[in-house]
A and B are shown apart, each in its own frame.
Chain A
Amino acid sequence: MKKLVWFGIAILGTAALAMIATSRGETINSIWLVAAALCVYALAYRFYALWISTKILVTDKTRATPAERFDNGLDFTPTNKWVTFGHHFAAIAGPGPLVGPTLAAQFGYLPGTIWILIGAVLGGCVQDMVTLFFSTRRDGRSLGQMARDELGPVGGAAALIGTLSIMVILISVLGLVVVNALKHSPWGTSTVMATIPVAILVGLYMRHIRPGKVLEGSLIGVALLLFSVASGGWIDHNAALRAFFDFDSQTLVWLVIGYGFLAAILPVWLLLAPRDYLSTYMKLGTVIALALAIFIMHPEIKMPAVTSFVDGTGPIFAGKLFPFVFITIACGAISGFHALVSSGTTPKLIANEEDIPMIGYGGMALESFVAIMAMTAATVLDPGVFFAINSPPGLVGTGAIAAAKISSWGFPVSMEQMQQLANEMGEKTLFARTGGAPSLAVGMASIFGNAFGRSLLSIWYHFAIMFEAVFILTTLDAGTRVGRFMLQDMLGNLYKPMGRTSWLPSVLISSAAIVASWGYFLYIGVLDPYGGVNLLWPLFGISNQMLAAIALSVGTGILIKSGKARYAWVTGIPLAWLCVITTSAAWEKITSADIRIGFFAAADHLSELLSLGKLAPEKAAVAPKLIFNMQLDGIITIFFVIVLWTVVFEMLRVGWRKTIGLPIPPVSESPHIPSRLVEDWVRD
């Protein structure tokens, strides 16, 4: 019977994939995409994940996990596997899988979708599960500690530096997405600003009014957030208030920087913790609602399967399909950041090793499904509208010129159509709202609008903007804080008092340093004429894939060291692929003569224009900053590639020494202690 069910899933999955593969020229229904994805995840889980966990990792249900051995009722607690799954998913799923696929939709729906599915099933899910398993076997140690223990101090240092730098790049690019979504949008800005007092109110409620009643507090908070979306509409209709919340992008950058600094130094209970509760509920609720709406509506996909932009001339970001689709979609296919949650945080909750495939592999499969939904929401828009929202003005011009240019690419769009859409969404204009968030919000609003009532389109749009901004800001403040701790830890080695996490001068200096680093990239990103997304997103993708390569190197190293070298391909193949794509993407970003791709080429081009006096005065004023920044970005890219190959070589060196029998750092696995939680435990 069970075999029949799996046979049925295999048939359905094949049929859905065949449907996608054979339909050319006409539109295809999004339900096929969703069905194909779900079948692929189910089959991969049943036949690949469980095979890895039983044959290669050899999960042992009689072995006590760290949660059982160090049970303190706090961070180490054996937890129900569905609850652990929920915590794990809430921790790994951020704005990344929503933004990446939206940007990559410029290549058409097919390339991104294939990479999301294959990348997740063979790469991302495996990375998360293997890291979770090895960390669970090592008392829940973090990725950095595991890299040091298993590969030596060089690997450990590389992992630490890699983590800190990805944090800075990640926060700046996410900040840019928020700024682009909120510029000259009084409704959006007032709604997002309202989330701050709402979070503080919830924080006070949970701490002082009804201590520990997190469900009540969160419910009140969510209700207030929904109210703030509606009241944003009233502000938008009032001329005086409208002007008060109408900011240009430069001002918004300073507001975001100020917010980030405050969030890093204020006590967590006041802002960070309550905000995280709210964003988690918003996130889970919206993801479920979007899935339901896509199932009910199953809209037609209007984007072609593959567009002509695979040749590298795309307006949203420059570069050919290979390697840039693999860099643009990091989260959703494979995300190194997950390894930080899969080690250190989640392992302390695992009650039984047999829960690991479901939590590690399944959690990532669900995140990958979120990416598929984001791809759907982006591609159900008219392609002309999609490109009008996402193309930077530096490339296509503004207004009617932009509409004509985009229509000339074969994606018809008119001024009237864009104006009507902007009116429906309650915005002044939707041209050049780069960063992915606004187009995703338009896509979500049209799906929600068709499923749950079209008259509320503007509410749905601003709800979607608020939802994205809320959890981008959550990543921003949590990331700044983590960065602050890491920096304090490093500085503590140089000057002892700096390492004390609560010493005020240390808090202020290290917070300011972290905020200044991401604030710098954010500020420059806003100045960039081609839209900072073109500049920053590839950098983020490269850094995230670099971190994934570090995690997979640790995994491969442990497999080889524990005598399972013939199975090392399970992590080795995704690792090799990551090395290929990150290195070739970095190579292009460094050496390409195309000024939209190559950092150094762009810097040279701009300095030439500057020295010839061909720039308008206001552009000439910022040109030196832009030139310096592009050179800096190029150097950072080179640095990422060096870190990546250092870790890979460390892993290969350890593996080679093991093969020819030279001494290597011992496997740091904790000893086997029988579990008392399994029923069939027998005293021996």
Chain B
Amino acid sequence: MEKLWRLIRQLSGEDAYERYLDHVRKCHPEMAPLDRKAFFVREEERKWNGIRRCC
């Protein structure tokens, strides 16, 4: 059940910020991570600058 919830959160992108924090802590410990809102804002801009949907 818990696994399914994790899958749903990951599928919807709900946990994107947590995964980003993990990544920053692991790979760039010297960098101050963006806050939740700034991260979301940047993500939305990035995601839509390419082909995301088909016919």
Contact = CB atoms under 8 A, between A and B. Distances in A.
A174 interface: yes
A341 B40 CA distance: 23
Nearest to A77: B19
Contacts of B9: 215
B48 A96 contact: no
A215 B8 CA distance: 9
Given A71-B27, A211-B36, A212-B17, A344 B54 contact: no
Interface in A335-362: 335, 337-338, 340-341, 344-345
Contact of B20 (A74, A174, A272, A474): A74
A335 B51 contact: no
Interface string B11-55: 111101101101110010000000011011101111111111111
Interface stretch (A78-86, A290-298, A618-626): A78-86
Given A73-B24, A83-B10, A272-B48, A212 B55 contact: no
Given A87-B11, A211-B36, A273-B44, A73 B54 contact: no
A479 B46 contact: no
B40 A73 contact: no
B54 A341 contact: yes
A170 B48 contact: no
Most A CB contacts (10 A, CB to CB) among B23, B40, B43, B45 go to: B40
What is the predominant secondary structure among interface residues of chain B facing chain A? helix
A88 to B, nearest CB: 10
A436 to B, nearest CB: 13
Tell me the interface secondary structure of chain A in the complex. Answer: helix
A72 B8 CA distance: 22
B37 A345 contact: no
B54 A72 contact: no
A218 B12 contact: yes
B37 to A, nearest CB: 4
Given A74-B46, A212-B37, A268-B45, A345 B51 contact: yes
A345 B50 contact: yes
A77 B17 CA distance: 13
A96 B44 CA distance: 26
Given A73-B19, A207-B44, A273-B47, A214 B54 contact: no
B12 A94 contact: no
- Among B39, B44, B46, the most chain A Cβ lie within 10 Å of the Cβ of B44
Given A207-B44, A214-B13, A338 B39 contact: no
A478 B44 contact: no
A544 interface: yes
Contacts of A86: 11
Given A77-B19, A341-B54, A485-B49, A215 B7 contact: no
Given A73-B19, A268-B48, A211 B53 contact: no
A501 interface: yes
Nearest to B49: A485
B41 to A, nearest CB: 7
Interface string A408-438: 0000000000000000000000000000000
Contacts of A479: 53
Interface of B: 7-14, 16-17, 19-20, 22-24, 27, 36-37, 39-41, 43-55
